[in-house]
Chain A
Amino acid sequence: MAAGVISTSRRMLSNRVFLWSCLAATMIAILLLSVLMVSIAIEGWSSISWRFLDSFASRKPAQAGIKAPLLGSLWVCAICGLAAIPMGIGTAIYLEEFAKRSRLKRFIQLNISNLSGVPSIVYGILALAAFVRFFGLACADEPWTLGDPESLFFIQFPFGPSVLAGGLTLALVILPIMIIASQEAFRAVPPSLRQGALALGSTPWQVVRLVTLPAAMPTIMTGAILAMSRAIGEAAPLLVIGGFLLVFQTPTNLMSDFTVLPLQIFNWAGRPQADFHKLAAAAIIVQLVVLISFNSVAIIIRQKLQRPLQS
């Protein structure tokens, strides 16, 4: 009897210790994040104004703004999302719903897992050869062009260090994450749903389109949020493909030169003048706002898609 009482109180104690250590782990993460956010907000808040958003870069901190990197980031991330999200979901559908157990499937799976751990700068090197230079097939100073350079539909080959090349580069970086997240989403759909639909005479494509994809979509969107958050913060691969820093024009078509917020932040933060550090902090705030609004769009899509399955 006595032994039982001791053991209960010990069990309660270890329960409490576990609870508190979990809480501590959470608090450390939240504390670090809030210290970072508060210090950036204090440093950068005063620099944020409409003029800051609507001006190009300048060597004078009082006149410098982030118009070019802000719009560059939006263009590049939009292209990246349009390329990587459908491709990632498509790959996941093939691997989870259609591919038979085979050596090829295992080989692909192994490669995707490995690729998700490759440093992003390596993708930059690959993209430099593939998208920017087309493996040297065309001459860089005399590209083959199609359309008027000032119109929206201007295309040139090779792409050069353009927003299209930048977006595709980031798509390469986030594709493995996107595929793995989507695969997890498909695996989480109960097999009974698929089997039920098949038993009612649906073709495999109908099963995917009407049953598994809608059921997996909310989880896929969570994966997409994480992937896009990574893409918008990347600077290294864009630096490798020759992303510029100083740009005095906003993108007008897929072939426009561009710069992105992380590059601008990196440059400002590395300057000796303290005023530029304030601008870097302000640019970080803008980047966070952009990121949160990207994510809220994904969350809205997720909420919308969740409804039919719940009813």
Chain B
Amino acid sequence: MTNTRPTSMIRIALVTAILSIAAQDGTRDFAKLKGAVRIDGSSTVYPITEAVVEEFSKIAKKVNVTVGISGTGGGFKRFCVGETAISNASRPITPSEVALAATSNIEFIEIPIAFDALSVVVHPKNDWVKSITIAQLKAIYSAGGGKSWKDIDPSWPDRAITAYSPGTDSGTFDYFKDAVLGKEGKARADMSVSEDDNVLVLGVSGDRDAIGFFGLAYFEENKDKLRAVPVIGSSGVAVSPSAKTVHDETYPLSRPLFIYVNGKAAAKPEVAALVEFFLDQCDELVTEVGYIPLPSATLAKVHANWSAKRLGTQFVKDGKQIEGRFGDLFQ
């Protein structure tokens, strides 16, 4: 008895010491943080950031976080001159944006946070489009594209196509253009365009001959009014949009979403705390707002990159955008 007491006391002391080190190291005292963090960028990423910032603001009450929705390009314009600490992006940074950041001496950390999948949608009573190839989508949406469904596939009825699309300034359209129309492709002039995805939902759900596309989150919200068409990519297999098909990158129309953190700002405790909170809460909140979380292997790389404060982008090299699968490129 007399023997064990000192050892157990030492043990307790040791455990307390370790715990207190862990507490200093692993968790921050959010309530004591102060300052302002400005975020701007993609409206596609906004719902995720909104959820994270809302939860962050509950525990770090003195940190004034503000979020804007200037679009990916608009957000980078401000980020690359140092006006914002974090930029939301629905695509990797481009070579010209990297160059702009370099002229303003802005360094940044690139952090993928989730996947977004475009869903191609038709009216639920459309019984002819069982699946669609990228080439067929291109034939529908290209300038001077098919006027009738029969023009796209001879087995489809001879009915006029009404094409719906998100606004041509949106990151969603940018992505669709890259993935479907090609870099030089031009979109047809007679499609119905709206910045408001809700208008697209209304349009397609009210017209049997309509086709449209937008983020998977919007489709999930309106499952009862629309039908998502399985898409045939280079693999030749029709794939429906889902978490599984997005993760293994078999669904052809999915893309990673990013946040970019200003290197100088990342050294500030309030910004670092927000980014770490972002990474910790990301999975749960991403699912809640309708996007698809990163696979655990990718998330581990993201954590490692953040701890090492790895600067720069992995998608631009020697002033050129690198092409390829996100899963292969991102290290």
What is the interface of chain A, defined by CB distance below 8 A to chain B? 56-59, 139-142, 160-161, 239, 242-249, 256-257, 259, 267, 269-273
Contact = CB atoms under 8 A, between A and B. Distances in A.
B221 A58 contact: no
Contact of A56 (B49, B57, B70, B221): B57
Contact of B64 (A239, A243, A249, A267): A249
B68 A244 contact: yes
A272 B197 contact: yes
A244 B66 CA distance: 6
Contact of B83 (A140, A248, A256, A272): A140
B51 interface: yes
B292 to A, nearest CB: 17
A282 B51 CA distance: 22
A246 B43 CA distance: 12
Given A140-B83, A267-B69, A248 B198 contact: no
Contacts, number: 80
Contact of A141 (B66, B67, B195, B264): B264
Nearest to B265: A141
B78 to A, nearest CB: 6
A249 B197 CA distance: 29
Contacts of A246: 49-50, 53-54, 65-68
Nearest to B58: A248
B272 to A, nearest CB: 16
B323 interface: no
A73 to B, nearest CB: 16
B218 A244 contact: no
Given A59-B51, A242-B70, A270 B196 contact: yes
13 contacts: A56-B57, A58-B54, A59-B51, A59-B288, A160-B83, A244-B67, A245-B67, A245-B68, A246-B65, A246-B67, A257-B64, A270-B197, A270-B198
Contact of A257 (B36, B46, B288): B36
Given A57-B54, A244-B40, A271 B198 contact: yes
B54 A242 contact: no
A242 B68 contact: yes
B66 A247 contact: yes
Nearest to A267: B69
Given A246-B67, A272-B222, 7 more contacts: A142-B82, A161-B38, A161-B83, A239-B70, A244-B40, A270-B196, A272-B197
A174 to B, nearest CB: 23
A248 B288 CA distance: 21
Contacts of A141: 82-83, 106, 262, 264-265
B289 interface: yes
B198 A257 contact: no
B19 interface: no
Contacts of A270: 195-198
A59 B54 contact: yes
Contacts of B65: 246, 248
Nearest to A246: B67
